[in-house]
Amino acid sequence: IIGLAFHEYAHAKVAYKLGDPTPKMQGRVTINPLSHIDVLGFASLIFVGFGWGVPVQINPANFKKRRRDELLVSLAGVAMNLLIAVIFSFVAKFMVMGLGYEFLSGNLGYILWTMINDIIIINLALMIFNLIPCPPLDGFSVISEIFNIKHTNFYWTLYRYGNWILVGLIVFGVTSRILSPCLYFLYNLLNTWIIY
């Protein structure tokens, strides 16, 4: 809930700040999860292990610098997931240093530690997953703006079949081969730099 809601909120907030009133008019510039959670996407997250929120709709015509602003909006969600992971890594460090291992070994401490650890892992996973350059993920929007390919047939072909391509990547385990090593690397990096 934290990861999905804040991810979509970041998209909406940045788009609104850059001059597009569309997310504001649709009630998306809020951290209220009810404004962002897709029922099917959330159920998928719980039962299958990956999920999605309701995509934030934007109108790029409202941006002053269209390519730059669309790129910033695309990056906002994954940047928010990384920020949440870093913040909760500091919370984990506080628990270790302030409350001690004796508290963490108890029932309440173990539950809190597990929750915080899961928040870190899930937000890192959401960040990495969304950076995969396949529509409708943010990574595809980032690549499209950097290389300016929106006016090519290649872009529209991928965009048209993006959902099916993504499902295929998930079913055949391609996404997990990308996700697992990246998640392991970033999680250990945060552990090394912050928690311990």
Both tokens of residue 48?
Answer: 């299958």
Nearest partner of 3 among 44, 43, 31, 39, judged by Cα: 31
CA distances from 149 to 49, 126, 132, 141 (A): 32, 25, 17, 10
Eight-state DSSP code of residue 53: B
Contact 81, 6 (CB under 8 A): yes
Neighbours of 87 (CB within 10 A): 14
SS3 call for 148: coil
Is residue 8 annotated as a catalytic residue, yes or no?
yes
Helices vs. strands in the chain: H and E counts, helices first: 9, 0
Please give the distance of CA 68 from its chain centroid, rounded to a whole number: 20
Active site members: 8
